[in-house]
Amino acid sequence: MPKVNVKVEFTTNATNRFLSHSHGKITLDAQGKGSFKVEAGDWDVLLCGVRGPSGSTAKITLGVDVPYQLVISGHPIHGQVAQGKQVWGTSRFFRVLKKGD
Amino acid sequence: MRAPNANLLVALMAILFAFNGSATADETQSFYQQKCRSLLHSAGEALRVQGGTLGPATLEDEEDPEIFAQQRLRSPLGASDVATPLRTEASFSAGSENGRAYLSLTNKTDTMSDRVFAIKISVPFDKDKGEGVFASRAGVSGDIVFSASTSKYLWNLNTSAYADKLCQICEKNRISPEDCYPESSVLANLQIPTGSREDLADNLFGTVAAIGWGLEGEAARKKREYFDTAAAKNDEDRIAASVSGVMALHLRSASIFAKLTAKRDYKEMDKAQRCSPIEDTMGLESCKQLPLGRAKEVEGLVASLQDVQELGDFAVAPTVQYDFDETDWTVLLPIYVIWQPADKKADDSPRQWIGGLKLAWASGENDEFGAAIFISTPLKW
């Protein structure tokens, strides 16, 4: 199966953030943008979260180029640090399929 | 008409998803038996090895020096605000702040780098000329501060417990993998005991969600003029220095900062006045005041422990400090009730705590209890 490039954008007003998938940490640039590769058809997971004062928000968006499509729910991922907490985190299982497969 | 039960709903959704690239029932079963836990575990391990990000590893440093005698606890100049990040791997920046011009170099790629190393040099900024002179033909500026800091931040995710709980619930209820996440509406429709979904997300973090540590060092040379005992004007520029080690434990709902600072500074002596007659005048004198004698060397070793947390509509940052040289304690209890949005243009900006009431007690020569209303720099997390 071919490797597919997945683009990701992580915007947040929190103090710290993390983002990884099953093959490693995803490095982001100053604008919170980055990319990683997954094998088409294979399941992968995105692990993401932030630390900051309550009310801090996060938004994580994934994208792939045609002819591929993402199979993911609850996307874009939105998160917020709850009242009285300093951290928020979640995960998403997803995979990339070729359109028509 | 009776409402369909949860299992029927899940089965219907599985059929619908099958036409949308979603997993079949067999794929789902195989996923939970073979992949669910290992994928999450691998993603968590990646962060454990490669780290996350670090915010400012510093103690709150707003001051009420006259009341609480905190001045002795602070570095000659704060080393925590080293370098403004730019958008390159190693960025170089220049500017002015707090009356000083600075040049800084940092390896921060953005405000959330996991490892930060920064150096900064600053000199007084001449507002009239719009410049700060670092060096001239006469040599390096007499009043110059060099600071360096490095810090590291590591998340402490508990992906094993998180994976066990999440995968177990999803497998038991035959939830398609892409719908298997804490906030999923499919999970929300299941009869999961109250609080369990919140626990599910909380399980992602250990009791200590992240740790950070850092080192800050600073050397400051300043020209100091004084009168010697023969009333002659002299000057000297001995170098003041400080080194701090910082450790931060970020819990799920609070942050604890520990800091140890060793410093050598110079305290100017009491001032004396020398007067001399002004030529071509009758009895008029020109007088100059300077410290009498060289500045006194002051060494210090101070340990601090601070807890920062929000409690609904207020935040607290109790701090205990111990000065090993003076053998005295300072206890501070700032209660923040005044806040502003961290980003005034954004509607969803988190609160930035900036002021409130501060209670303090200092032992030793400064033995006193005080209370004050304060407005300070934003509380740091």
Strands B100-106 and B115-124, bridge-based pairing? antiparallel
pLDDT of residue A38: 93
Nearest to B184 by CA among A51, A95, A75: A75
Q: Would you state the pLDDT for residue B263?
A: 92
Closest CA to B63 of B328, B332, B299: B332
Which residues 46-85 of A have a C-beta within 8 angstroms of B?
46-47, 49, 51-57, 69, 71-74, 80-81, 83-85
State the residue for tokens 């909380």: B202
Closest residue in A to B353 (Cα–Cα): A53
Comparing CB atoms, the residue among B210, B254, B342 nearest residue A16 is B210
Helix (H) and strand (E) counts in chain B: 7, 19
CA nearest to A65, candidates A2, A6, A3, A1 = A6
User: What's the predicted TM-score (pTM) here?
Assistant: 0.75
The answer to which of A33-42, A73-82, B61-70, B73-82 has the lowest mean pLDDT is B73-82
Does the structure show a pLDDT above 80 at B75? Answer: no
Q: Give me B350's structure tokens.
A: 């988190």
Q: How many Cβ contacts (< 8 angstroms) between chains A and B?
A: 172
Which of B94 and B375 is assigned the larger pLDDT?
B375
Provide mean pLDDT across the span B174-185. Answer: 90
Nearest to A57 by CA among B50, B163, B342: B342
Q: How far off is chain B from A31, nearest CA to CA, in Å?
A: 8
Tell me which chain B residues have a C-beta less than 8 angstroms from the C-beta of A45: 39-40, 43
Q: Does A11 contact chain B (CB < 8 Å)?
A: no
B89-121 pLDDT, tens digit per residue, is 456 666 666 677 888 887 754 445 567 788 888
Question: What value does the CA radius of gyration of chain B take, rounded to a whole number of Å?
Answer: 29
Q: Which residues contact B41 (CB under 8 A, 6 or more apart)?
A: B159, B160, B163
In angstroms, what separates the C-alpha of B349 from chain A's closest C-alpha?
7
Q: So what's the ipTM on this one?
A: 0.92
Mean pLDDT confidence for B288-292: 93
Q: How confident is the model at residue A6 (pLDDT cuts 50, 70, 90)?
A: very high
Q: What tens digit of pLDDT does each residue of B118-158 get?
A: 888 888 877 777 777 776 666 666 688 899 998 888 888 88
Q: How far apart are CA A40 and CA B373, in angstroms?
A: 60
Share of chain B above pLDDT 90, in %: 30
Tell me which chain B residue has its CA closest to the CA of residue A13.
B349
Query: Which of A45, A68, A95 has the highest number of chain B CBs within 10 A, making it the mutation to test binding with B?
Result: A45
